[in-house]
Each structure stands twice: as structure tokens, then as C-alpha cells.
């Protein structure tokens, strides 16, 4: 089974078995997690390229 079919099946199932509030809460949690993950990746890249980066600079 392809990744796309699996993703659609899981998304459809989740949407059909969740309230709108629960879906919005999960979306917000994912947004925050993605922002945090991207920010940390940028910090790691900056440290790798330029050395130590202060918290206020990244």
C-alpha cells in the first residue's frame, strides 16, 4: 500500500472520529512542535557553520 493511501486513510479515520475541538488542538500542537523542530535545526546548523550561537541570536 502506498504512503499516500495510508496517509489518506489515517487522516479520514481521525477526522471521522474526532471533534473539531480535538482536531484544532492537535493541529496547534503539531504547529508548535514543527516550529520548535525547525528552530532547533537552524540553531544546530548555525553552530556547525559559525561556532557557538548565543540564545538571543538564534
Q: What is the pLDDT of residue 25?
A: 93
How confident is the model at residue 55, as a pLDDT?
A: 62
Q: Which residue has the cell 556547525?
A: 48
Write a three-state SS string for 1-58: CCHHHHHHHHHHHHHHCCCHHHHHHHHHHHHHHHHHHHHHHHHHHHHHHHCCCCHHHC
Average pLDDT value over all residues in the chain: 88
> What digits encode the pLDDT tens for the residues 6-34?
999 998 998 888 888 988 899 899 999 99
**Element containing residue 55 per DSSP (H, E):** none
| Nearest one of 24, 25, 1 to 9, comparing CA atoms | 1
pLDDT of residue 53: 61
CA distance 17 to 29: 18
Amino acid at each position: 500500500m502506498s504512503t499516500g493511501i495510508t496517509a489518506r486513510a489515517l487522516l479520514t479515520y481521525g477526522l471521522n472520529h474526532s471533534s473539531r475541538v480535538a482536531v484544532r488542538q492537535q493541529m496547534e500542537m503539531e504547529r508548535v512542535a514543527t516550529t520548535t523542530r525547525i528552530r532547533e535545526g537552524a540553531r544546530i546548523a548555525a553552530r556547525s557553520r559559525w561556532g557557538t550561537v548565543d540564545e538571543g541570536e538564534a
